[in-house]
Structure 1
């Protein structure tokens, strides 16, 4: 973290899609580090293909399905704010519901990061990895 953590009130004053903006970056960094540490000699193209598995909207939607029962009341509130905020665009390769759930997940990640709740952030991301890595891939 580059500066002092925000209070919960300060973090909640951010637009939900701004929380998702930073959350997307934080989550992707965790994903990239995990992949790289597991396969330090993997070429960048393959690293990218592996990362997509974790960061695509459908995977994040599945993560939320599994994690939502574990959310605290506050986490659920932040997730729902991110999920329910319309972004105006949806990537052509993403289902609208998956994309909205992914936005909620990223908003929650951003919120936890900005408030300095790194322990909880790590717990949820570890669970996210378990969900994605437990899926069958043909």
Structure 2
């Protein structure tokens, strides 16, 4: 059986812990933000060679709070009971900051999405995380037969 990304990192770097149930929703959102960004950057990079500025503009539009709120609307019916509970914990977490160009509602939904992605990543469910992000962004729709 192939190791998940997080299992590989834990093994290679001899890291203890990383049980997703032991982290706060904002801790999960912290790592989920990075995982989400990596998936988005991979999608943007797959669109072909362009300037780094264009890569940045495309990926920024996909990771902003409003875009992540839209992703949630698309993936909500697909979430398991556990995934929905993780999302809600993230959405309801009290953050000390709010994004400059986002509504409070969008920012909270985005935090919920990031917490969910962080939970899935730490739980060794990277395939599920990528599938949900891809579905939410409509990625790969042109390639399916």
Normalised-by-shorter TM-score class: 0.7 to 0.9
The answer for unaligned runs of 5 or more in structure 1 is 134-138
CA distance in 1 between partners of 2:119 and 2:136 (Å): 16
4+ long deviations beyond 4 Å:
none
Q: Where do 1:127-138 residues align within 5 Å?
A: 127-130=135-138
Q: TM-score, normalised by structure 1?
A: 0.86
2:114 maps to: 106
Shift of the alpha carbon at 1:118? 2.0
Between Structure 1 and Structure 2, whose CA radius of gyration is higher?
2
Q: Is the 8 A contact 1:26 1:109 kept in 2?
A: yes
1:75 counterpart = 2:83 = yes
When the two chains are superposed, the root-mean-square deviation of aligned CA atoms in Å is 2.0
Shift of the alpha carbon at 1:65? 1.2
| Candidates 60, 65, 73, aligned match of 2:73 | 65
1:32 maps to: 41
2:26 maps to: 17
Q: Is the 8 A contact 1:23 1:108 kept in 2?
A: yes
The answer for unaligned runs of 5 or more in structure 2 is none
CA distance in 1 between partners of 2:123 and 2:17 (Å): 6
